[in-house]
Amino acid sequence: MFTGLISDVGTVARVEERGEGLRRLRIESRYDPATIALGASIACAGPCLTVVEVGPVGEGAWFEVEAAAETLARTTLSRWTPGLRVNLERSLKIGDELGGHMVTGHVDGVAQIVRREDLTDPAWGATARFTIRVPRTVAHFIAEKGSVSLDGTSLTVNSVEDDQLSVLLIPHSLGATTWGERGVGDLLNVEVDLMARYVARLAEAGPKGY
């Protein structure tokens, strides 16, 4: 489990095809390699991926993860190339502060930025409002003032209209994540709120589903 609070921005260092439907990626980060165990889960721009190899690089660590056909089909990982910067989050430990919302790292689909509006506030500094189109299959799970995970970042939904939602990024979030680099046309991994998914499933099942 994760919270959607980004702890580092890593860089894709290598992408290797491992046969049909399998891709291995090396990501460099500022994490201490001694703290990353083989088999550990790290959310990489949203998807929860398993560490299969790790080592030191500079003052941080590189780690390798593998993505199979299902992950490649449902996320942006099939488009990742060396040099791409990605949001990273380590998995929760018992006792950690839950500052965002409960995120599983199980991506529901790929969204696209359709508008970016940069704003400057004398008190806040530079902020940015993004309008994002999400797949219609997940749009009904998203509610105004609810939570959504976009590229692994826990965000509050400002507005929802049909298959589009808007979010506002404060200066800290723009600087501490990849959002400062994002623009119109960029693709994002989207994960809907866990509770919304279960409530919708129960509603579909009706009384006979209990």
Q: What is the pLDDT of residues 19-50, one digit of tens each?
A: 878 999 999 999 999 999 999 999 999 999 99
Amino acid at 64: E
Closest C-alpha among 173, 179, 153 to residue 88: 153
- Letter string b/e over residues 149-163, b meaning 16 or more CB atoms within 10 A of that residue's CB: bbbbbbbebeebeeb
Say if residue 126 is in the same domain as residue 165: yes
Alpha-carbon distance of 61 to 200, in angstroms, equals: 40
Q: Look at residues 38, 63, 90 and tell me which one is the last residue of a structural domain.
A: 90
Out of 7, 13, 40, 41, which one is annotated catalytic? 41
State residue 111's pLDDT score. Answer: 98
- Are 79 and 124 within one domain? no
Contact 114, 167 (CB under 8 A): no
Whether 68 sits among the annotated catalytic residues: the reply is: yes
Q: Taking residues 194-209, what's their average pLDDT?
A: 66
Domain count along the chain: 2
pLDDT for the residue 136 = 94
Range name among 30-34, 138-142, 195-199 with the lowest pLDDT average: 195-199
- Asked whether residue 160 is domain-assigned, the answer is yes
Q: What is the pTM of this model?
A: 0.91
Residues 149 and 84 occupy one common structural domain: no
- pLDDT over 90 for what percent of the chain? 80
Residue 189 lies in a domain: yes
Q: Which of 7, 13, 40, 106 is catalytic?
A: 106
Q: Find the CATH number of the domain harbouring 63.
A: 2.40.30.20
Element holding 137 (H helix, E strand) = helix 136-139
Distance, C-alpha 45 to centroid of its chain: 4
**Rounded mean pLDDT, 134-156:** 95
85 & 40 share domain: yes
Give the pLDDT confidence score for residue 198 in this predicted structure: 63
- Residue 206 reports pLDDT greater than 70: no
Q: Which of 90, 119, 143 is the last residue of a domain?
A: 90
Is the pLDDT at 123 greater than 80? The verdict is no
Residue 172 known to be catalytic:
no
Q: Annotated catalytic, 101?
A: no
> How remote is the C-alpha of 75 from its chain's centroid?
10
Our answer to whether residue 2 is catalytic in this structure is yes
pLDDT of the residue at 14: 98
Q: pLDDT band for position 209 (50/70/90)? A: low
Q: What mean pLDDT value characterizes the chain?
A: 92
Q: Residue 3 catalytic?
A: no
Q: Round to whole Å and give the CA distance between 1 and 91.
A: 6
Contacts of 146 (CB under 8 A, 6+ apart): 156, 157, 193, 196
Q: How far apart, in whole angstroms, are the C-alpha atoms of residue 16 and residue 129?
A: 35
Specify the pLDDT at position 110. Answer: 98
**Do 117 and 189 reside in the same domain of the chain?**
yes
Active site residue 104: no
Domain containing 54 equals 8-90
d(CA 110, CA 133): 9
Q: What pLDDT, on a 0 to 100 scale, did the predictor assign at position 65?
A: 98
Q: Which entry of 7, 11, 40, 50 is annotated as an active-site residue?
A: 50
The pLDDT tens digits for 160-192 are: 999 999 999 999 999 999 999 999 999 999 999
